[in-house]
Amino acid sequence: MTDARPAPAPRTRTPWRAAFFALTGFGVAAAVAWVLFGSRLLVVKSETVTGTHLITQAQVLAAADVPAGTPLIRVNTAQVAQRVETIRQVASATVSRDWPDRLVITVTERVPVVAVRMTSGGYDLVDPAGVIVRWSQARPAGLPLYLTSLTGGALHDDPGVASTATVLAELPSWLSREVTEVSTAAPGAGTTASPGDSAQVTLYLSSHKTVVWGGADRASQKDRELAILMRDHERYFDVSAPGTVVTG
60 and 99 together in one domain: yes
| Domain that residue 69 falls in | 46-109
User: Can you tell me the distance from the alpha carbon of 37 to that of 43, in angstroms, rounded to the nearest whole number?
Assistant: 8
141 and 206 together in one domain: yes
Q: Does residue 11 lie in a domain region?
A: no
Which residues, listed in sequence order, are joined to residue 60 by a DSSP beta bridge?
none
pLDDT at 245: 86
202 and 240 together in one domain: yes
CATH number of the domain enclosing 93? 3.10.20.310
Q: Does residue 118 lie in a domain region?
A: yes
50 and 154 together in one domain: no
236 and 149 together in one domain: yes
192 and 143 together in one domain: yes
Q: Does residue 12 lie in a domain region?
A: no
120 and 79 together in one domain: no
Q: Does residue 75 lie in a domain region?
A: yes
pLDDT at 177: 94
Task: State the total domains in the chain.
Answer: 2
103 and 137 together in one domain: no
Chunked mean pLDDT (size 10), the chain, 248 residues: 56 56 50 48 92 97 96 96 98 96 97 95 96 95 94 92 96 95 78 57 96 94 92 91 88
CATH number of the domain enclosing 133? 3.40.50
120 and 177 together in one domain: yes
pLDDT at 248: 83
Domain closes at, from 90, 109, 128: 109
185 and 219 together in one domain: yes
Using an 8 Å Cβ cutoff, are 210 and 174 in contact? no
Q: Does residue 14 lie in a domain region?
A: no
Q: Are strands 46-50 and 114-117 parallel, antiparallel or unpaired?
A: unpaired
Domain closes at, from 58, 74, 109: 109
Burial 18-38 (b: 16+ CB within 10 A, else e): eeeeeeeeeeeeeeeeeeeee
pLDDT at 188: 57
136 and 71 together in one domain: no
102 and 152 together in one domain: no
pLDDT at 137: 96
Q: Does residue 8 lie in a domain region?
A: no
